[in-house]
Chain A
């Protein structure tokens, strides 16, 4: 279904599952510009950042870029449930989305954009796709282990608000091991996803990426500044072109920002400026 320059459609991934995507073509196509693929975060961070992603995509579309935003299997409007999704399935779905974009538009050069875990998915995908020339990562999850600890803390808090008995972290982990999945924020998360999440360590994994990186973190350093600094340091050491900034005034992936109507307009502008400076 077409809306001016946006085309919404379900497409098939490699496992013949239906994924939802919105492809936006610029009014005046410019072959020198890469296409932008947005990788979404997960759980409540996906929910609260949705409109910000939509407007991010539209901002870059107006700047002349072809963009694609899509839902991986088990997320959003795509087929399946979260319990069936893994980190690897999200990476494969991103590769399939890129392929669908290539078939639909002929674009062969890509920039991946992601927020939080979406940034990690973008980074892992970039390592498996020769066409990815750059990564724009906003408050990226650099250490999956640390992110998992955040999830556990929030899950414990959530269960307290439901009046359930006080769970200890080790009880939740034991339940995950015993039952193969646990409920996090109203959705079942599988042991496979958690294990793959804990294996994420971008500081080491991103060493093979030869493209350019734009990294933006909260002005106060975010929840895991140490990991962010380590990643920037590691990329600089390897000679990767990195632009790293602490310029996000607030988290646009939390409930409060959504209900304040906050959209990170400055991030949109900074990302567009970084894209302009990339080698054509």
Chain B
């Protein structure tokens, strides 16, 4: 029977909160999965996707820990900074090393959504204790600007010459200054690129380093999350097109950034679990039916302490 229990984990910022899932010892495959929360959401994830995923993974034999990083959920540690990269990599590290210390596992993977995935790469790029990262909807937009945002539209505007017409600017002004700001930011960033002055955000540099080191990563995106998808494709074309065994991109159709539909939840969880199972060389511990039956919680072990 798989079990669940809560715990607090010490980290540089104070104490994080976590829910731990342990599999039936008979199905235990000796692999841990750490799930840092997504952005400002708690450890349950949007629409409880983390809860569903962790129960599914645990039923398949994985040990899982879902983290409330500082400033989120029930974490005691606070984090007044709210930005795409406000979660410190050191706190993800604390969660990973908690899992290693507790379980003495052979292999460890990180599964995370959006900003949680960025934090995962910022940590994993510099610590080979992580065997792979599953990134759901990881935004590869930069901190200091969004140079690739609207890139297609601007390219079109450039190539057609309409960018230099008063009508184009009038239309942009009437339809929102935000787009003009994005365009000007992009042009500024491109200029810095051309002059060799732009310093890419740490998260992007870490993803780049992680991939160039040839380390395993799975990227899942919602098919309707077009800006994030196209930005990723433009930055990492080799991953986008090759879909190598170690590094690949999967698009889940008809869903948005938070993968917020039931079929998208199921697809993301199944794709992630089967990719990790393939990486660690185990056949699925149970059939889909058995997993569904087992994924409900059981056992009373959880009484916390």
Contacts and interface: CB of A to CB of B under 8 A. Distances in A.
A54 B70 CA distance: 13
B261 A183 contact: yes
A186 B42 contact: no
B254 A259 contact: no
Given A1-B6, A10-B5, A18 B302 contact: yes
Contacts of A261: 40, 71, 80, 82
A150 interface: no
Contacts of B105: none
Contacts of B296: 79-80
Contacts of B297: 18, 79
Nearest to B297: A79
A7 B304 contact: yes
A9 B82 contact: no
Given A50-B73, A54-B73, A183 B303 contact: no
Contacts of B71: 51, 261
A1 B262 contact: no
B262 A50 contact: no
Contacts of B282: none
Given A1-B8, A187-B47, A8 B304 contact: yes
Contacts, number: 107
Contact of A258 (B40, B48, B302): B40
B254 A50 contact: no
B270 to A, nearest CB: 16
A12 B48 CA distance: 20
Q: Which DSSP category, helix, strand, loop or mixed, fits chain B's interface?
A: loop
B138 interface: no
Contacts of B255: 162
Given A10-B302, A79-B297, A259-B82, A54 B260 contact: no
Interface in B270-301: 296-297, 300
A1 B265 contact: no
Contact of B19 (A47, A77, A185): A77
B250 to A, nearest CB: 18
A8 B17 CA distance: 10
A158 B257 CA distance: 13
B24 interface: no
Interface in A157-215: 158, 161-164, 183, 185-188
Contact of B76 (A3, A20, A51, A260): A3
Contacts of B73: 50-51, 54
A134 interface: no
Contacts of A79: 296-297
A76 B224 CA distance: 26
B195 interface: no
Interface string B137-157: 000000000000000000000
Contacts of B256: 161-162
B262 A20 contact: no
Given A50-B73, A54-B73, A163-B224, A186 B40 contact: no
Contacts of B305: 1-2
A118 B123 CA distance: 38
B302 A185 contact: no
B74 interface: yes
Given A18-B302, A79-B296, A260-B82, 5 more contacts: A2-B304, A50-B41, A76-B51, A79-B297, A162-B256
17 contacts: A6-B74, A10-B300, A18-B302, A47-B47, A51-B71, A76-B51, A161-B224, A163-B224, A185-B47, A185-B260, A186-B49, A186-B258, A186-B264, A186-B265, A258-B40, A259-B39, A261-B82
Interface of A: 1-4, 6-12, 18, 20, 22, 47, 50-51, 54, 76-77, 79-80, 158, 161-164, 183, 185-188, 258-261
Interface of B: 4-8, 15, 17, 19, 39-44, 46-49, 51, 71-74, 76, 80, 82, 224, 254-256, 258, 260-262, 264-265, 296-297, 300, 302-305
